[in-house]
Amino acid sequence: MQRSYDRAADGLRPVRITRQFTKAPEGSVLIEVGQTRVLCTASVEEKVPPFQKGTGKGWVTAEYAMIPRATQTRTQREATKGKLTGRTMEIQRLIGRALRSVVDLKKLGERTIWLDCDVLQADGGTRTASITGAYVALLDAIQYLLEKKLIKTNPIMDTLAAVSVGKVLGTQVLDLDYEEDSKAEVDMNVVMTGAGKFVEIQGTAEEVPFDRADLDVFLRLAEKGIRSLMEVQKTAIETNS
Amino acid sequence: MQRSYDRAADGLRPVRITRQFTKAPEGSVLIEVGQTRVLCTASVEEKVPPFQKGTGKGWVTAEYAMIPRATQTRTQREATKGKLTGRTMEIQRLIGRALRSVVDLKKLGERTIWLDCDVLQADGGTRTASITGAYVALLDAIQYLLEKKLIKTNPIMDTLAAVSVGKVLGTQVLDLDYEEDSKAEVDMNVVMTGAGKFVEIQGTAEEVPFDRADLDVFLRLAEKGIRSLMEVQKTAIETNS
Amino acid sequence: MQRSYDRAADGLRPVRITRQFTKAPEGSVLIEVGQTRVLCTASVEEKVPPFQKGTGKGWVTAEYAMIPRATQTRTQREATKGKLTGRTMEIQRLIGRALRSVVDLKKLGERTIWLDCDVLQADGGTRTASITGAYVALLDAIQYLLEKKLIKTNPIMDTLAAVSVGKVLGTQVLDLDYEEDSKAEVDMNVVMTGAGKFVEIQGTAEEVPFDRADLDVFLRLAEKGIRSLMEVQKTAIETNS
Amino acid sequence: MQRSYDRAADGLRPVRITRQFTKAPEGSVLIEVGQTRVLCTASVEEKVPPFQKGTGKGWVTAEYAMIPRATQTRTQREATKGKLTGRTMEIQRLIGRALRSVVDLKKLGERTIWLDCDVLQADGGTRTASITGAYVALLDAIQYLLEKKLIKTNPIMDTLAAVSVGKVLGTQVLDLDYEEDSKAEVDMNVVMTGAGKFVEIQGTAEEVPFDRADLDVFLRLAEKGIRSLMEVQKTAIETNS
Amino acid sequence: MQRSYDRAADGLRPVRITRQFTKAPEGSVLIEVGQTRVLCTASVEEKVPPFQKGTGKGWVTAEYAMIPRATQTRTQREATKGKLTGRTMEIQRLIGRALRSVVDLKKLGERTIWLDCDVLQADGGTRTASITGAYVALLDAIQYLLEKKLIKTNPIMDTLAAVSVGKVLGTQVLDLDYEEDSKAEVDMNVVMTGAGKFVEIQGTAEEVPFDRADLDVFLRLAEKGIRSLMEVQKTAIETNS
Amino acid sequence: MQRSYDRAADGLRPVRITRQFTKAPEGSVLIEVGQTRVLCTASVEEKVPPFQKGTGKGWVTAEYAMIPRATQTRTQREATKGKLTGRTMEIQRLIGRALRSVVDLKKLGERTIWLDCDVLQADGGTRTASITGAYVALLDAIQYLLEKKLIKTNPIMDTLAAVSVGKVLGTQVLDLDYEEDSKAEVDMNVVMTGAGKFVEIQGTAEEVPFDRADLDVFLRLAEKGIRSLMEVQKTAIETNS
């Protein structure tokens, strides 16, 4: 099996993280994973949803969208249709949940951080790229809050990144591009912390059910990929902007 | 930790499956898992969605809803709100995907089987109960198609059931009820075939990330639970109706 | 004309009322009228709609839905369509209005009782079965409020039940099932109090206009049917649960 | 009780019917009943809804709306809200059903007549005025079809008009204006044919249930009012336009 | 080119303005421009939209709709479709903006004036007729506020009217009717104050781009037309009602 | 008055046009006008809307959106709200109309070109930047059609660009940024062809009505700006990509 960028089965596509891609947001990150490109912005809003009011705790939530021609053929705008698809809802719930898992909402205080992930080009792995990029945007927003002295202590509890793994033509592979994804027998998304613990595992047998042996390989590949992604995140964060 | 029905950590709640609960549908199953009660109907429709037209293949899809007072406090009807919540979309996508995994769509022919899962009472585990019950309703609908000679060969490729596992107060447990679910550190839904393979694994760390050791226990508990559920399915199917 | 259950023209189908069908609601009644089955729940909410705020008066309102396969062929979910049909709106307005007519809203205090009528199987007369069943669920919710000492005096002013009458193949009949309803020349729904007074009369000539003589027969049949339904209600209420 | 226009309990408000109020529609009637003013247009469309296709039969349907300031205080536009209220749905279903009752759909042929009833000013009785006015607009549209030789025989089977009756301060009255309607104990709408038969009776006890004696008076009042309305319709139709 | 009403290129169609067309609204104006007929009502509401709260300033806003058969063939109701078309949104934004331009919102105080423009018959120029008619309805609503002593000083800063101009078959013309509009090469709407200044110019080349020379003619025609419209407004206002 | 980028009243902000910004679309252009950044993609679809079917003519249409944090404070997603705002509708209608004015739809053949303008950062002038950028994306899509031999002759009839002009603090200026726009007395958008003719003029007096003298200055400034923008377009087009 020939993979894009001449990768081995356990190889990631080239990853690039650009901070301050736009100026208005408290955090603005363009993440590129091969041809997949997602703009992740973090916006601070000084209020919380009704269910969190008066608790002293903040909230972190995500929204996800693709521009119509992020895909090979044009996809109709959800705003034009008047409603979100199930796929979009599922993805933005996943991103929000993942990011919340590394934030101490008490330390954040009664405010919301919105993570908007807008896919400019989709070539597989947009949801995991969104999580990996949104984490960096979130850090910049937290930095903003610390500098403005709106919060005293950093509420970030651990680093976070995500990657997809799967089985294509009988082989377990890391970081599927669109072509691989569309013929995958199994597709799995893994979100992991810097401590090496799982925040989310979502594995789906698209064609052929998988067994424990597959799962073991998937998780090993995922950990390897996430470690590499965390290196890219670290470099991006340390680079003065 | 005291569990409902005096169960051990690896114990299921009492499960009851009633076929032909209502008369109109080709399959109509009431599944009760403790206090959770879901009415699963299977309806045959002699057409397929646009993307499947002309392929010779059929389709299996699911819809999920709760009556407003299935829950402890009344939940607003989605029909009144005018849209489905993300939770509902996510669940009905999961149910449809799971059931499709054991159906040979070619043998089904160009027709759709709708699996409607309506929760009459919700006490945790409604999505896994829906899958387990819908599987039996699906079998009855397939039986109907065979008897009417609308299909020649049985398109069902394997048995299927689902269960939830999780970690509550530091202990890994099988089949969480609502009270356990609301305080769980980790929540995982597992869908498995009779061959013991995974169709879907969805694990979420609600509070505390989990590690490989946890995962191993979760999957062992899930397999045990699913084996028991398959026994109940088998008894229900074999009972003349 | 041969009627289901070998009934005479003035005969009701077998009626069964089961209280506490589910556990969470303050009132939960399954009413079965022949093959028609409606689950009626009563939920107390400690607030009122805006137009009633500050008046010291409560509110009683109803919502009605059918599960997709309550009907002979599957009906699309209103939640999926994103809006209620005119039929549903008309029915739930009727149920709410009927129930309010026997409640002293002042004695209820500033709270709302929601009556949710979910049709599990539809074989004609679902709206009148909903009213008859919801009345019993309402009583149980009122009993709950009295026991919890949330209200002091019983706000229920009279008993209430409803039935359909109509003209089929030239004959006036009581309690039409789906087959009769679909070929009825005239269809009339009557809601009556224990004092024998009318709360609602809705008569529609589907095919052939009707005259005063027809109307007199319709109302005599309706009164007879409603008297019988009130006996069933009474027995259900008096049975300890 | 002093009534508007110094009417007796059995008196109608002044009624005026103006044909050809606007030029584009096949039928265009302004009906004024006291201060209530409704513009009823009839539009011919050379197709039928899906359920009627291929049957050789036509369809007659109605839509109803109020301009925002038809009422004493401004009512929000349903187009702005994005959905029809239950009241609107109920009314337009009633108007359509009533008009269909006097049309032989077979003779109409596979075409639809749309009856649009737009209330310019609302002072009680808008739904019955809509029916009475729409009947005249329908006749003009039928005349148009006959003149254009699109149909050969007149599909109208009888004349049709509607009126409201009710009980106000204990007195049964004909043709309630808004002020009377808002304090009525009972409100009833009656649709009748020229042959003196009922097409629709919708009686609702708003405050106090009513008995057979009330009903008898209501129906006598309604018949008297409808006879007068039919005189006004007749004069309008016979006047050359 | 033969124009309707034997008009010259710079001629207006006959214009008629009827005040107090309906009784409930604070201002109610029927404006007729040839066959175009728009009912413009002005409604006072004692509150402002959120963005204006606490500023001491009022608000003026407009809504626009056509009854379904205002047009040659029936147009579907926006309330039935569940959303406003872009055309409607664009028009009602224009009307609101235009009217606000001659109102001192501070003198109006924290209240809203709603201008509802409902087109009863459409024969071209409905948006400019709406502005011209709504201005008179607005004056009546202001007069009402002054008489009720709800405001002390008149917030109206200037007179206002609007007209369409365009190029049809190579000729620049004033006040296009529907037939002209549908074949116009250029279509321009001009809103002007009594002081002869522009509030809005919206010119669109439907088929052939236009040049400065065209523009000069358009604006001269528009000013001439608007001067005439202001005479009609003045006469309507001065006539005791 | 100090302007951004030390511009004179008749100065444009720095403009940059990047072709092939993303790979999937037939045309993909990032246009930057100062801090305003819009991604304009052109997508070819081999079908036309219903009203154009069978005419042999094609269609060009536009959609416009902003990512939530394109603005200084986060704007709610229209997909989440479930409907487009009036502003969005107005803008996308303008863009579509403008681009259609330079395309010979007959030569395009029965296909649609979708122009999607997604604002990544908004600092004033997003609608005119969208038109200017979309024109270049359109050219690339046309080039694609010519190369694929799907069309024989180039349907583009002229070049096209757009700019905003206005009056700020009494001075007429070219190309307003957000800060200027928010305090402008007059705001005007001008779309012009290479032949120097107007396709669209939309001028709005936000605070103070304007006169002919203002208009003359506005149009002179607009022409100057548009000439410069056309130079940038030309350079971008000629640069090999």
Q: Predicted confidence band at B240 (pLDDT cuts at 50, 70, 90)? A: low
- d(C-alpha B91, C-alpha B94), whole Å: 5
* F83:A78 CB<8 A: no
User: Above 0.85 for ipTM, yes or no?
Assistant: yes
Distance from CA of C22 to the nearest CA of B (A): 7
Q: Predicted confidence band at E206 (pLDDT cuts at 50, 70, 90)? A: confident
The pLDDT, as a whole number, for residue F165 is 98
Residue C241 has pLDDT above 60, yes or no: no
The pLDDT, as a whole number, for residue D240 is 65
CA distances from A91 to A25, A125, F138 (A): 22, 11, 32
- In the three-class reduction of DSSP (H, G, I as helix; E, B as strand; rest coil), residue C15 is classed as strand
- d(C-alpha A210, C-alpha A168), whole Å: 12
What is the secondary structure of F15-57 as a DSSP string? EEEEE-SSSSSSEEEEEEETTEEEEEEEEEES---GGGTTSS-
State percent of chain D over pLDDT 90.
97
What is the secondary structure of B80-116 as a DSSP string? HHTS--HHHHHHHHHHHHHHHTTB-HHHH-S-EEEEE
Subunits with 3+ C-beta pairs closer than 8 A to B: A, C
One-letter amino acid at A66 equals: M
pLDDT tens per residue, range E32-52 = 999 999 999 999 999 999 999
pLDDT tens per residue, range E142-181 = 999 999 999 999 999 999 999 999 999 999 999 999 999 9
Look-up of token digits 């649960």 = C241
CA-nearest of E236, E238, E197, E237 to E219 is E197
Quick one: average pLDDT of C43-52?
96
Query: CB–CB of F120/F70 below 8 Å?
Result: yes
The pLDDT, as a whole number, for residue D12 is 98
What's chain A's average pLDDT? 96
- d(C-alpha A125, C-alpha C226), whole Å: 63
State percent of chain D over pLDDT 70.
99
Residue F185 has pLDDT above 70, yes or no: yes
Distance from CA of C210 to the nearest CA of B (A): 33
Spatial neighbors of E23 by CB under 8 A, at least 6 apart, are D35, D121
Whether D87 has a binding-site annotation, put simply, is: yes
* Contact list, C203 vs chain D (CB under 8 Å): 198, 200-202
State percent of chain C over pLDDT 90.
97
Query: CB–CB of E134/E29 below 8 Å?
Result: yes
One-letter amino acid at B7 equals: R
Q: Predicted confidence band at E226 (pLDDT cuts at 50, 70, 90)? A: very high
Quick one: average pLDDT of D165-170?
96
Quick one: average pLDDT of C32-59?
97
CA-nearest of F61, F42, F65 to F51 is F61
The pLDDT, as a whole number, for residue D53 is 95
CA distances from B104 to B58, B79, B155, B183 (A): 9, 33, 5, 39
One-letter amino acid at C4 equals: S
Quick one: average pLDDT of C113-138?
98
* C69:B121 CB<8 A: no
By a Cβ cutoff of 8 Å, what residues of chain E touch chain F?
A: 83-84, 86-87, 89-90, 92-93, 97, 101, 158, 188, 192-193, 195-205, 209-212, 215, 219
Residue A241 has pLDDT above 80, yes or no: no
Q: Edge to edge, what strands does the sheet with C15-19 contain?
A: C15-19, C27-33, C36-45, C112-121, C59-66
What's chain F's average pLDDT? 96
pLDDT tens per residue, range D116-141 = 999 999 999 999 999 999 999 999 99
Quick one: average pLDDT of B115-134?
98
Query: CB–CB of F60/F105 below 8 Å?
Result: yes
Record the pTM. Answer: 0.94
Spatial neighbors of D65 by CB under 8 A, at least 6 apart, are D78, D88, D116, D117, D118, D119, E67, E77, E79
Q: Predicted confidence band at F240 (pLDDT cuts at 50, 70, 90)? A: low
* A120:F69 CB<8 A: no
CA-nearest of F40, F42, F39 to F59 is F42
> Which contacts (CB < 8 Å, 24+ apart) does range A21-24 have?
A22/F37, A22/F69, A22/F70, A22/F120, A22/F121, A23/F35, A23/F121, A24/F69, A24/F70, A24/F71, A24/F72, A24/F121
Strand duo D59-66 + D112-121: pairing: parallel
* Contact list, C22 vs chain B (CB under 8 Å): 37, 69-70, 120-121
The pLDDT, as a whole number, for residue B241 is 57
What's chain B's average pLDDT? 96
Residue D196 has pLDDT above 70, yes or no: yes
Q: Predicted confidence band at A207 (pLDDT cuts at 50, 70, 90)? A: confident
Q: Would you tell me the crossing angle of helices B86-100 and B126-147 to the nearest 10 degrees? A: 40
Q: Predicted confidence band at F79 (pLDDT cuts at 50, 70, 90)? A: very high
* E68:D43 CB<8 A: yes
Distance from CA of D192 to the nearest CA of C (A): 8
Q: Predicted confidence band at E241 (pLDDT cuts at 50, 70, 90)? A: low
Quick one: average pLDDT of C82-91?
95
- In the three-class reduction of DSSP (H, G, I as helix; E, B as strand; rest coil), residue A162 is classed as strand
Q: Predicted confidence band at C1 (pLDDT cuts at 50, 70, 90)? A: confident
- d(C-alpha A27, C-alpha A136), whole Å: 8
- d(C-alpha C110, C-alpha C54), whole Å: 8
Plot region of A66 (φ>0 → left; ψ -120 to 50 → alpha; else → beta): beta
* A204:B203 CB<8 A: no
Which of B35, B43, B78 lies closest to C69 in CB terms?
B43
CA-nearest of A48, E97, E117, E98 to D69 is E117
Q: Predicted confidence band at D241 (pLDDT cuts at 50, 70, 90)? A: low
Residue F178 has pLDDT above 60, yes or no: yes
- In the three-class reduction of DSSP (H, G, I as helix; E, B as strand; rest coil), residue E120 is classed as strand
- d(C-alpha E43, C-alpha F145), whole Å: 54
Distance from CA of C43 to the nearest CA of D (A): 22
- In the three-class reduction of DSSP (H, G, I as helix; E, B as strand; rest coil), residue F111 is classed as coil
* Contact list, D73 vs chain E (CB under 8 Å): 43
Strand duo B112-121 + B59-66: pairing: parallel
* Contact list, B196 vs chain A (CB under 8 Å): 211
Fold that domain A4-239 belongs to in CATH: Ribosomal Protein S5; domain 2 (3.30.230)
By a Cβ cutoff of 8 Å, what residues of chain B touch chain A?
A: 83-84, 86-87, 89-90, 92-93, 97, 101, 158, 188, 192-193, 195-205, 209-212, 215, 219
The pLDDT, as a whole number, for residue F206 is 81
The pLDDT, as a whole number, for residue A234 is 97
Whether E170 has a binding-site annotation, put simply, is: no
Whether F16 has a binding-site annotation, put simply, is: no
- d(C-alpha D70, C-alpha B218), whole Å: 65
The pLDDT, as a whole number, for residue A70 is 97
Quick one: average pLDDT of A212-231?
97
- In the three-class reduction of DSSP (H, G, I as helix; E, B as strand; rest coil), residue C190 is classed as strand
CA-nearest of A148, A126, A115 to A33 is A126
The pLDDT, as a whole number, for residue E240 is 65
